[in-house]
């Protein structure tokens, strides 16, 4: 909650707290572990294509360092509009430029990872979950082969299974990526996007 509340003060366009820190908190609660166990960082993502320079992103990162300085957590801030500039060097496959933060979330390595949460200015929650939430609560890890290579998914799955051995890790699909992508698009059409009052 502190990461969410403090991120809201940074004025980052299209921001979300995303991915691991969210579903791993749920995994901890479901398996009756301490809520922060195994969480190595908190990902804050945003989308600003008005300035794709490293200097602009670095300014947001430095502002975040000040805002989160006293929290016992590592908070990583990244501009998803810049991902296509470095993705191929890091992962070996090209990444088309995203047109929104949600588009970036859609391409995370596992469908369970495809999750972003923020608190809006009217204290209402925005939850972006294009594949729904049931796998997360049922401890199912399912690949999302729309962009990330198989090796990225399998490396993450192996690391997470060490921390949460209860996970049911689904195999990389044998079908070709085109049919899987088409299925992924169909699933996104029924995305879970909720705006609920803060309780």
What tens digit of pLDDT does each residue of 155-169 get?
Answer: 999 999 999 999 999
Q: Which helix (H) or strand (E) holds 75?
A: strand 75-79
What pLDDT, in 10s, does the model give residues 18-69?
999 999 999 999 999 999 999 999 999 999 999 999 999 999 999 999 999 9
Residue 90: alpha-carbon gap to chain centroid: 18
- pLDDT, mean of residues 117-137: 93
**Residue 117, H or E segment:** strand 116-119
DSSP symbols for 41-86? -EEEEE--TT---HHHHHHHHHHHHHHTTTSSS-EEEEEGGGHHHH
Q: Name the percent of the chain lying above pLDDT 90.
A: 78
pLDDT of residue 175: 66
Cα–Cα dist 43/98, whole Å: 18
Q: Which pTM was predicted?
A: 0.83
Provide the token pair at 166.
């209860």
């Amino acid at each position: 909650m502190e990461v969410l509340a403090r991120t809201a003060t940074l004025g980052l366009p299209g921001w979300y707290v995303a991915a691991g820190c969210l579903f791993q908190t749920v995994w901890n609660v479901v398996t009756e572990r301490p809520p922060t166990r195994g969480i190595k960082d908190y990902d804050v993502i945003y989308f600003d294509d008005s300035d794709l320079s490293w200097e602009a992103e670095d300014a947001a990162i430095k502002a975040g360092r000040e805002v989160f300085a006293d929290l016992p957590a590592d908070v990583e801030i990244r501009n998803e509009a810049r991902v296509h500039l470095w993705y191929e060097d890091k992962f070996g496959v090209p990444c088309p430029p995203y047109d929104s933060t949600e588009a970036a979330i859609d391409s995370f390595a596992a469908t369970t990872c495809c999750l972003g949460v923020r608190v809006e200015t009217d204290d209402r929650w925005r939850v972006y979950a294009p594949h729904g939430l049931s796998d997360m609560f049922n401890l199912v890890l399912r690949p999302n082969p729309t962009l990330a290579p198989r090796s990225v998914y399998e490396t993450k799955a192996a690391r997470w299974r060490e921390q949460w051995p209860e996970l049911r890790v689904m195999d990389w699909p044998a079908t070709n990526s085109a049919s899987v992508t088409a299925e992924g698009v169909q699933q996104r059409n029924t995305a879970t996007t909720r705006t609920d009052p803060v309780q």
